[in-house]
Structure 1
Amino acid sequence: MKLSLPMIALAGVALLSACNKNDEPEVVGGPADPMADQLANAAPVELPPSVKATKQYRCKDNSLYFVDFMTDDKTANFRTKKGGEPTQLKAAEAGQAFTAEGGYEVSGQGDEVQIAVPGKKAQSCHV
Protein backbone atom coordinates (compact mmCIF):
# COMPACT_ATOMS: atom_id res chain seq x y z
CA MET A 1 0.00 0.00 0.00
CA LYS A 2 2.81 2.40 0.90
CA LEU A 3 4.72 1.51 -2.23
CA SER A 4 1.80 1.81 -4.66
CA LEU A 5 0.89 5.44 -3.80
CA PRO A 6 4.31 6.86 -4.77
CA MET A 7 4.32 4.71 -7.89
CA ILE A 8 0.92 6.07 -8.96
CA ALA A 9 2.11 9.64 -8.37
CA LEU A 10 5.28 8.99 -10.36
CA ALA A 11 3.29 7.51 -13.25
CA GLY A 12 0.95 10.55 -13.26
CA VAL A 13 3.89 12.97 -13.45
CA ALA A 14 5.44 10.97 -16.27
CA LEU A 15 2.18 11.05 -18.25
CA LEU A 16 1.70 14.81 -17.77
CA SER A 17 5.27 15.61 -18.77
CA ALA A 18 4.68 13.96 -22.15
CA CYS A 19 1.94 16.47 -23.08
CA ASN A 20 2.43 19.04 -25.90
CA LYS A 21 5.89 18.01 -27.06
CA ASN A 22 5.43 19.08 -30.70
CA ASP A 23 7.57 21.80 -32.24
CA GLU A 24 4.81 23.33 -34.38
CA PRO A 25 3.53 26.77 -33.30
CA GLU A 26 0.02 26.92 -31.93
CA VAL A 27 -2.37 29.17 -33.91
CA VAL A 28 -4.49 31.16 -31.48
CA GLY A 29 -6.01 34.03 -33.51
CA GLY A 30 -7.71 32.01 -36.23
CA PRO A 31 -7.66 32.87 -39.95
CA ALA A 32 -6.55 36.30 -41.15
CA ASP A 33 -9.22 38.94 -41.68
CA PRO A 34 -9.75 39.43 -45.46
CA MET A 35 -10.91 43.03 -44.92
CA ALA A 36 -8.10 44.07 -42.56
CA ASP A 37 -6.43 46.34 -45.15
CA GLN A 38 -9.71 48.00 -46.15
CA LEU A 39 -10.63 48.64 -42.53
CA ALA A 40 -7.19 50.02 -41.72
CA ASN A 41 -7.42 52.49 -44.64
CA ALA A 42 -11.08 53.44 -44.11
CA ALA A 43 -12.04 56.99 -43.20
CA PRO A 44 -12.80 57.56 -39.51
CA VAL A 45 -16.43 57.14 -38.54
CA GLU A 46 -18.19 60.25 -37.28
CA LEU A 47 -21.04 59.63 -34.88
CA PRO A 48 -24.22 61.63 -35.31
CA PRO A 49 -24.62 64.49 -32.83
CA SER A 50 -26.56 63.89 -29.64
CA VAL A 51 -29.08 66.20 -27.98
CA LYS A 52 -27.38 69.04 -26.13
CA ALA A 53 -30.53 70.83 -24.93
CA THR A 54 -34.27 70.46 -25.39
CA LYS A 55 -36.30 73.65 -25.11
CA GLN A 56 -39.99 74.49 -25.32
CA TYR A 57 -40.73 78.00 -26.63
CA ARG A 58 -43.87 80.13 -26.33
CA CYS A 59 -44.11 82.78 -29.05
CA LYS A 60 -45.86 86.17 -29.24
CA ASP A 61 -48.83 84.68 -31.11
CA ASN A 62 -49.18 82.14 -28.25
CA SER A 63 -47.93 79.25 -30.40
CA LEU A 64 -45.79 76.57 -28.79
CA TYR A 65 -42.69 75.03 -30.44
CA PHE A 66 -40.21 72.38 -29.34
CA VAL A 67 -36.54 72.47 -30.34
CA ASP A 68 -33.76 69.93 -29.67
CA PHE A 69 -30.35 71.57 -30.08
CA MET A 70 -27.58 69.12 -30.96
CA THR A 71 -23.98 68.92 -29.72
CA ASP A 72 -22.46 69.87 -33.10
CA ASP A 73 -24.08 73.35 -32.79
CA LYS A 74 -25.07 73.06 -36.48
CA THR A 75 -28.17 70.86 -36.18
CA ALA A 76 -31.53 71.19 -34.44
CA ASN A 77 -34.75 69.17 -34.50
CA PHE A 78 -37.88 71.33 -34.65
CA ARG A 79 -41.40 70.17 -33.67
CA THR A 80 -44.69 72.04 -33.83
CA LYS A 81 -46.26 69.74 -31.23
CA LYS A 82 -44.86 67.69 -28.36
CA GLY A 83 -43.89 64.23 -29.59
CA GLY A 84 -44.56 65.26 -33.19
CA GLU A 85 -42.48 64.40 -36.23
CA PRO A 86 -39.26 66.46 -36.16
CA THR A 87 -38.04 68.70 -38.96
CA GLN A 88 -34.26 68.76 -39.06
CA LEU A 89 -32.81 72.26 -39.24
CA LYS A 90 -29.19 72.91 -40.20
CA ALA A 91 -26.86 75.88 -39.82
CA ALA A 92 -23.98 76.53 -42.22
CA GLU A 93 -21.71 77.35 -39.27
CA ALA A 94 -22.04 77.22 -35.49
CA GLY A 95 -23.81 80.34 -34.22
CA GLN A 96 -25.79 80.97 -37.42
CA ALA A 97 -29.54 80.48 -37.86
CA PHE A 98 -30.88 76.94 -38.23
CA THR A 99 -32.95 76.57 -41.42
CA ALA A 100 -34.82 73.96 -43.46
CA GLU A 101 -36.63 74.00 -46.78
CA GLY A 102 -40.16 75.29 -46.67
CA GLY A 103 -39.52 78.34 -44.50
CA TYR A 104 -38.44 76.93 -41.13
CA GLU A 105 -35.89 79.02 -39.25
CA VAL A 106 -34.68 79.26 -35.66
CA SER A 107 -32.24 82.07 -34.81
CA GLY A 108 -30.43 81.61 -31.51
CA GLN A 109 -30.10 78.79 -28.99
CA GLY A 110 -30.80 80.43 -25.66
CA ASP A 111 -33.96 81.24 -23.76
CA GLU A 112 -34.94 83.95 -26.30
CA VAL A 113 -35.01 83.02 -30.01
CA GLN A 114 -36.63 84.07 -33.27
CA ILE A 115 -38.74 81.35 -34.92
CA ALA A 116 -40.24 81.37 -38.41
CA VAL A 117 -42.52 78.60 -39.72
CA PRO A 118 -44.13 78.22 -43.16
CA GLY A 119 -46.94 80.73 -43.59
CA LYS A 120 -45.85 82.93 -40.63
CA LYS A 121 -43.28 85.67 -40.22
CA ALA A 122 -40.42 85.31 -37.75
CA GLN A 123 -41.45 86.13 -34.21
CA SER A 124 -39.85 86.40 -30.82
CA CYS A 125 -40.21 83.30 -28.61
CA HIS A 126 -39.05 82.52 -25.09
CA VAL A 127 -38.71 79.54 -22.76
Structure 2
Amino acid sequence: MQKAPLTLAAASLAALLSLAACNTEPETVNAGPADPDAANLAEAPPVTLPPALSASRTYRCKDNSLAYVDFFADGTSADIRAEKTGPATRLTAPAKGEPFVAEGYKLTGDGTSVTLERPGKASQSCKA
Protein backbone atom coordinates (compact mmCIF):
# COMPACT_ATOMS: atom_id res chain seq x y z
CA MET A 1 0.00 0.00 0.00
CA GLN A 2 2.88 2.39 0.54
CA LYS A 3 4.04 2.07 -3.06
CA ALA A 4 1.07 4.13 -4.41
CA PRO A 5 1.95 7.39 -2.60
CA LEU A 6 5.63 6.92 -3.52
CA THR A 7 4.75 6.38 -7.20
CA LEU A 8 2.48 9.40 -7.18
CA ALA A 9 5.21 11.58 -5.67
CA ALA A 10 7.74 10.36 -8.26
CA ALA A 11 5.35 11.11 -11.15
CA SER A 12 4.70 14.60 -9.78
CA LEU A 13 8.43 15.25 -9.46
CA ALA A 14 9.05 14.07 -13.04
CA ALA A 15 6.31 16.37 -14.40
CA LEU A 16 7.69 19.31 -12.44
CA LEU A 17 11.23 18.72 -13.74
CA SER A 18 10.04 18.48 -17.34
CA LEU A 19 8.21 21.83 -17.02
CA ALA A 20 11.25 23.47 -15.45
CA ALA A 21 13.26 22.66 -18.57
CA CYS A 22 10.94 24.74 -20.82
CA ASN A 23 12.14 27.93 -22.49
CA THR A 24 10.85 30.93 -20.52
CA GLU A 25 11.65 33.59 -23.13
CA PRO A 26 8.62 35.17 -24.89
CA GLU A 27 7.84 33.86 -28.36
CA THR A 28 7.32 36.33 -31.21
CA VAL A 29 4.80 35.40 -33.89
CA ASN A 30 4.91 37.25 -37.22
CA ALA A 31 1.64 37.44 -39.11
CA GLY A 32 3.31 37.50 -42.49
CA PRO A 33 4.57 40.14 -44.91
CA ALA A 34 3.68 43.80 -44.33
CA ASP A 35 0.48 45.12 -45.92
CA PRO A 36 1.40 46.56 -49.36
CA ASP A 37 -1.50 49.07 -49.14
CA ALA A 38 -0.66 50.32 -45.64
CA ALA A 39 0.75 53.64 -46.90
CA ASN A 40 -2.27 54.28 -49.17
CA LEU A 41 -4.70 53.48 -46.36
CA ALA A 42 -2.89 55.79 -43.94
CA GLU A 43 -3.20 58.69 -46.41
CA ALA A 44 -6.84 57.99 -47.35
CA PRO A 45 -9.52 60.41 -46.12
CA PRO A 46 -11.74 59.20 -43.28
CA VAL A 47 -14.81 57.21 -44.30
CA THR A 48 -18.18 58.86 -43.71
CA LEU A 49 -20.93 56.39 -42.88
CA PRO A 50 -24.38 56.82 -44.38
CA PRO A 51 -27.05 58.16 -42.02
CA ALA A 52 -28.97 55.69 -39.90
CA LEU A 53 -32.59 54.88 -40.68
CA SER A 54 -34.83 56.70 -38.19
CA ALA A 55 -38.31 55.71 -39.44
CA SER A 56 -39.85 53.58 -42.14
CA ARG A 57 -43.49 54.35 -42.90
CA THR A 58 -46.14 53.26 -45.38
CA TYR A 59 -48.49 56.04 -46.46
CA ARG A 60 -51.94 55.73 -48.05
CA CYS A 61 -52.58 58.73 -50.30
CA LYS A 62 -55.87 60.38 -51.32
CA ASP A 63 -55.84 58.63 -54.73
CA ASN A 64 -55.62 55.29 -52.82
CA SER A 65 -52.01 54.67 -53.87
CA LEU A 66 -49.28 53.62 -51.45
CA ALA A 67 -45.95 55.29 -50.82
CA TYR A 68 -43.17 53.60 -48.85
CA VAL A 69 -40.87 56.16 -47.26
CA ASP A 70 -37.67 55.62 -45.25
CA PHE A 71 -36.56 58.66 -43.26
CA PHE A 72 -32.92 58.97 -42.24
CA ALA A 73 -31.51 60.32 -38.96
CA ASP A 74 -29.69 63.22 -40.61
CA GLY A 75 -33.10 64.87 -41.19
CA THR A 76 -32.20 65.89 -44.73
CA SER A 77 -32.70 62.67 -46.69
CA ALA A 78 -35.44 60.14 -47.34
CA ASP A 79 -36.00 57.25 -49.76
CA ILE A 80 -39.38 56.79 -51.45
CA ARG A 81 -40.69 53.70 -53.25
CA ALA A 82 -43.95 53.03 -55.08
CA GLU A 83 -43.69 49.30 -54.30
CA LYS A 84 -42.52 47.73 -51.05
CA THR A 85 -39.56 45.96 -52.69
CA GLY A 86 -39.24 48.32 -55.65
CA PRO A 87 -36.37 50.67 -56.46
CA ALA A 88 -35.95 53.66 -54.16
CA THR A 89 -35.56 57.30 -55.13
CA ARG A 90 -33.43 59.42 -52.78
CA LEU A 91 -35.04 62.71 -51.79
CA THR A 92 -32.98 65.41 -50.07
CA ALA A 93 -33.79 68.59 -48.21
CA PRO A 94 -31.51 71.65 -48.18
CA ALA A 95 -31.95 71.86 -44.39
CA LYS A 96 -33.85 70.10 -41.62
CA GLY A 97 -37.56 70.91 -41.67
CA GLU A 98 -37.64 71.83 -45.36
CA PRO A 99 -39.37 69.65 -48.00
CA PHE A 100 -37.53 66.64 -49.39
CA VAL A 101 -37.12 66.99 -53.16
CA ALA A 102 -35.79 65.07 -56.15
CA GLU A 103 -36.51 65.16 -59.86
CA GLY A 104 -40.33 65.33 -60.03
CA TYR A 105 -40.81 64.52 -56.32
CA LYS A 106 -41.61 66.72 -53.35
CA LEU A 107 -42.37 65.39 -49.88
CA THR A 108 -43.40 67.76 -47.10
CA GLY A 109 -43.43 66.45 -43.54
CA ASP A 110 -42.04 63.37 -41.86
CA GLY A 111 -44.73 62.33 -39.40
CA THR A 112 -47.96 60.39 -39.70
CA SER A 113 -49.34 62.84 -42.28
CA VAL A 114 -47.37 64.14 -45.28
CA THR A 115 -47.97 65.95 -48.55
CA LEU A 116 -46.54 64.13 -51.56
CA GLU A 117 -46.02 65.24 -55.13
CA ARG A 118 -44.90 62.60 -57.66
CA PRO A 119 -43.95 62.86 -61.33
CA GLY A 120 -47.10 63.22 -63.42
CA LYS A 121 -49.41 63.44 -60.37
CA ALA A 122 -50.88 66.36 -58.48
CA SER A 123 -49.88 67.12 -54.90
CA GLN A 124 -51.93 65.10 -52.40
CA SER A 125 -52.06 64.36 -48.70
CA CYS A 126 -51.06 60.93 -47.43
CA LYS A 127 -51.49 59.31 -44.02
CA ALA A 128 -49.50 56.57 -42.33
Q: TM-score, normalised by structure 2?
A: 0.71
SS for the counterpart of 2:58 is strand
Q: Deviations over 1:51-108 (max 9, x none)?
A: 222222233333332211122212211112333222111122222211112x111011
CA distance, structure 2, for counterparts of residue 15 and residue 64 of structure 1? 77
CA distance, structure 2, for counterparts of residue 67 and residue 29 of structure 1? 51
RMSD: 2.9
Q: Rate the CA distance shift 1:9–1:111 in 2: closer, same or farther, 3 A.
A: closer
Q: Rate the CA distance shift 1:13–1:95 in 2: closer, same or farther, 3 A.
A: same
* Count of matched residue positions in the alignment of Structure 1 and Structure 2: 123
SS for the counterpart of 2:122 is coil
- Unaligned runs of 5+ residues in structure 1 are none
The alignment-based identity, stated in percent, is 44
SS for the counterpart of 1:113 is strand
Aligned residue number for residue 95 of structure 1: 97
Q: TM-score, normalised by structure 1?
A: 0.71
- Unaligned runs of 5+ residues in structure 2 are none
